[in-house]
Structure 1
Amino acid sequence: MADEPVLEATDVSQIPATVARLRDGFRSHVTLDYEYRMRQLRNLKRLLEENQVKILEALKLDLNKCKSEAFMMEFAQVMGDVVDILNNLADWMAPNHRPRDLLNKFNSVYIQSEPYGVILNMVPWNYPLQIMLCSLAGIIASGNCCVIKPSEFAVAFSNLMAELIPKYLDQECFAMVTGALEQSEALLKERFDFIMFTGSPVVGKIVMREAAATLTPILLELGGKSPVIVAKDANMEVAGRRIMWGKCMNSGQTCIAPDYVLCLKEQRDKLVEACKKTVTEFYGEDPKESPDYGRIIQSRHFQRLVGLLEGSKGTVAYGGTSDPQTRYIQPTLVTDVTPEDKLMQEEIFGPLLPILTVDSLDDAIDFVNKGEKPLAMYVFTESRATFERVSKLTSAGGVTHNDTLLHAGATALPFGGVGNSGVGAYRGKHSFDAFSHSKGVLSTGTGLEFLNNMRYPPFTSSKFNRIKWALSKTERSSRGPWRMIMLFLSIAVVAVVVQMYGLPSWLY
């Protein structure tokens, strides 16, 4: 494409000083303050509101994302997360008081969420705004400082955020490092308190290995081959439309895009026709001319996708054309695909959709279970029991019934992988939890010391029997009678102690 922007890379020699500056910022304890976090989150919201046009233009330059798609899939997602956090942060930061066992009836037992410290956030190119700022909102909310490393492939967006982040967020606690492999390697040599990486499993393993050297906690959002299972009773027209919507969004460059379809042999042709009809409905007879259809991010990824299609022994049932000058690849359906086909050996990450046939639902479940655990799975069926059976017997980061992609947009749900598709999850409250350490806290007073004699030496046989009784737990229903009995006994003990000794001083 003509007039492509040039990446403005950070000088590698400045990276240690940048990390040290953020380390000092965290040690100043300013990020522990609720008002500080709220102020930074409101600044992040203002960044979005005041620069919406520039952001959407950058996404258009990098990925040819139309305004509506970019707003729906990126801008609105971030704004939703930020507003959700602003509305709930006070409750999330408050101590989470927990039930007390018999020996801790007079103690305060709670969980306090505390920040990890300085976080490295390595952001991909396919949804650069959504992934960067949804995660950053959680990082801010949980009281951390952050070095953000955007992908060098999303050049226009990377340059724009390098300009905007310092204007809106505290530079002592938040910084951008732009560039390519050299900058990424330099960052991984620095000591961080937490690392988030979104990208491929290959690079994720490198990040995990580097983090393991210093036992640094990580959150990995990877990917994999997300399957679609189309059951016998599925609504084929709806399935075709929603599968192709999920596949063609961002020209297939979505980590949870439908990667392949499993359906019964007798259903295949009807499903193919529904998918073909949908592409024409969405993008016209020639998707290349549609203003709503994206492009492949760069030439290397374009050539990889063309190579996958050329190496396939399947039958192209629709599409197959491409243009290296504009990095356009037509939405493509490939049938007669076997598990050994080249299209089935790696995550496609583009608008190519293999359709495989199976003899039964059980065969489809077995096929999914033989592969790596995917980031997402989609099940099309009119039967709730069938959906729940597939969901129960398979494992995936997330699952959606009768649609695609939508579970990732639900702020109340965690977004993350399992096994090869990732470690950990985030979004909304789950972001706050992911970037916080849950510190267990017990607080007690110094009164009523005689109640503690049972745990102090010397240990007599009678004391042992009392200890054994006090610490023994029996299985019971959470609504059983012992719960009420223990509650009344506890109240009686407290009443007797107060009557005999009065209230302890620490209660005043």
Structure 2
Amino acid sequence: MSCTPLEEIPKVYEGLKAAFRSGKTKSVAFRKAQLSQLLYLLDDNVGRFQQALHADLGRPFKEAQLLEINGTLLQLQGAHDNVEAWASPQRAPFSLLWYPMSPITRKEPKGVVLIIGPFNYPVYLILCPLAAAIAAGNTVLLKPSELSMATATLLTELIPQYLDPDVVRVVNGAIPETTKILELPFDHILYTGNGRVGRVVSTAAAQHLTPVTLELGGKCPCVIDPKCDLKTAAKRIMWGKLANGGQICLCPDYVIVPAHFQDAVVEALVAAYKELHPVDPRESGEVTRMVNKRHAERIKKLVDTTRGTIVIGGEVDTETLYAAPTIVRDVGPKDSLMSEELFGPVLPIVPVSDVDEAIAFIGERDHPLCLYIFSNDAAFKTKVIDNTLSGTVAINDTLLQIGAPTPFGGVGASGHGGYQSGKYAFETFTHMRPVTDSPNWLDSALMGARYTPYDESSFRQLNAVLHARLPPRNAASLGYFGCMAAEISCSLNWYRRFWSNRPNGSA
């Protein structure tokens, strides 16, 4: 992969800006055609993307197909199939006061947007937001991660072949190129990665008052209820932990469990691991490698300095980038494994006294991107959800929630904004532009009373219309039927006041 010359980057931006100003992306038909091409870009080259992902991450071909390529195609298809509906103007809910002004909300593109992708899912986390940005009518500058070089090189080759080069451009490089990019006044920036770089992106964006969407991950806890289906829970946790070698922002980061139940959980997790990997993953090649030596060395240091007890695994080969799937029990709150997001195939188990201590433990840390709960008890689930805060919540499974047709994003240190799912992704790159149209006859009806010098009787009538209908003062003590009766009384009083204030002789 060759880096984009620094002096070319402003020219790329100006070309995208000129294309947006030309108006070509305003056409929904044009957007749909580009989305169709984006679908074929991926579908025509599945094998090449599998090879690139294997070169970048040592990812098995089947895992690449199952966990990245298929999910990406589904998101691209959703954007293609729904772009007309998403882009259509939306009428405001009916209101007698505002109906004459015909209020609507137009879905306008923001302009030139920047998408900075991560190394861990270099197809899904580039092409899905790209599809949303195209559906919204923007022009797009893509900055793939320099750590996934093979995938970035393939995208750089294919995008101009399938998409309008005036509308989508790729810039490659590392810190110097990214720094140069961030000097430019984009209309929206989406960054997926870590909090340290997220702060750099936010600071640069603030210089131009550019809105930013951040997806930053964090330490996602798994709260275990002893009443759960432990065998199923253990299998799903181990699958989610080891997918992509643990290099997913949504991976279960640690398990938190009542101390008296820790032995049972450890036994179930070990059994689940052996079921998933009857052959050593180092030999079978069924666990993705660390992306580079620096990340492998980081994982090795965290494992080597843990004060917990290593149950299985613990080996990290920094030359071959292989980190063995590892389970560590009796991990304390100040352990090395709790010092940062692990982003590797290491699963610490934190024993606590009960669910209340688990909730307190989670609350003392940054808000995670996802909270996992394994329980068959409705009261247990509700208690954990009601007393914690996270970007998303997944109950009795891992990772799959990212594909659900709901908003997806973090909160606090795990990021803000959502962009990975359907209409919510489209809205991330869309300016909701309200439009009203006041007819001339409105002044001869009621709104003429706003002008000075005020006519006293007309002003009283307009003031009565604009006066809020207040709820009863003692609503909490009235009960449901009492509140209904009070609401009816308030409405009647409002209408009496309106009619009593209308000018003499008016209809």
TM-score by length of 2: 0.92
Partner of 1:290: 284
Deviations 1:454-492 (A, max 9, x none): 222222443342232111122569997699999x99xxx
Structure 2 vs 1, CA of residues 448 and 191 (structure 1 numbering), >3 Å: closer, same or farther?
closer
Partner of 1:421: 414
Partner SS state of residue 123, structure 2 = helix
Deviations 1:348-376 (A, max 9, x none): 10011110011111110111111100001
C-alpha separation between the residues in 2 aligned to 1:324 and 1:216? Answer: 40
Partner of 1:268: 262
Correspondence 1:178 to 2:172: yes
Deviations 1:62-109 (A, max 9, x none): 111112211121111111111112221111111110124343231201
Match of 1:84 among 62, 78, 84: 78
Q: Quick one: which amino acid aligns to residue 472 of structure 1?
A: H
C-alpha separation between the residues in 2 aligned to 1:424 and 1:299? Answer: 32
Match of 1:300 among 294, 298, 301: 294
Question: Following superposition of structure 1 onto structure 2, how do residues 309-328 of structure 1 map, counting pairs within 5 Å?
Answer: 309-328=303-322
Match of 2:466 among 468, 471, 478: 471
Contact 2:156 2:170 in 1 (8 A): yes
Deviations 1:166-193 (A, max 9, x none): 1111111110001111111110111111
Match of 2:107 among 113, 117, 121: 113
Identity, in percent, stands at: 37
C-alpha separation between the residues in 2 aligned to 1:171 and 1:285? Answer: 47
Partner of 2:380: 386
Partner of 1:355: 349
Partner SS state of residue 72, structure 1 = helix
Partner SS state of residue 114, structure 1 = strand
Question: Following superposition of structure 1 onto structure 2, how do residues 27-106 of structure 1 map, counting pairs within 5 Å?
Answer: 27-106=21-100
Structure 2 vs 1, CA of residues 475 and 483 (structure 1 numbering), >3 Å: closer, same or farther?
closer
The alpha carbon displacement at 1:247 in A equals 0.3
Deviations 1:151-176 (A, max 9, x none): 00001101000000111111111100
Contact 1:221 1:421 in 2 (8 A): yes
C-alpha separation between the residues in 1 aligned to 2:232 and 2:83? Answer: 39
Q: Quick one: which amino acid aligns to residue 424 of structure 1?
A: G
Deviations 1:376-434 (A, max 9, x none): 11000011221122112111110100111111121x11111001000100121111111
Partner of 1:206: 200
Q: Quick one: which amino acid aligns to residue 389 of structure 2?
A: S
Match of 2:453 among 430, 453, 458: 458
Partner SS state of residue 140, structure 2 = strand
Deviations 1:180-226 (A, max 9, x none): 11111110111111100000011101100111111100100101111
C-alpha separation between the residues in 2 aligned to 1:68 and 1:472? Answer: 64
The alpha carbon displacement at 1:49 in A equals 1.3
Contact 1:239 1:402 in 2 (8 A): yes
Match of 2:139 among 137, 145, 151: 145
C-alpha separation between the residues in 1 aligned to 2:52 and 2:60? Answer: 11
Contact 1:256 1:376 in 2 (8 A): yes
C-alpha separation between the residues in 1 aligned to 2:490 and 2:9? Answer: 57
Contact 1:102 1:470 in 2 (8 A): no
Q: Quick one: which amino acid aligns to residue 68 of structure 2?
A: E
Unmatched 5+ stretches in structure 1:
1-6, 490-499, 501-508
C-alpha separation between the residues in 2 aligned to 1:429 and 1:484? Answer: 37
Contact 1:100 1:109 in 2 (8 A): no
C-alpha separation between the residues in 1 aligned to 2:341 and 2:121? Answer: 17
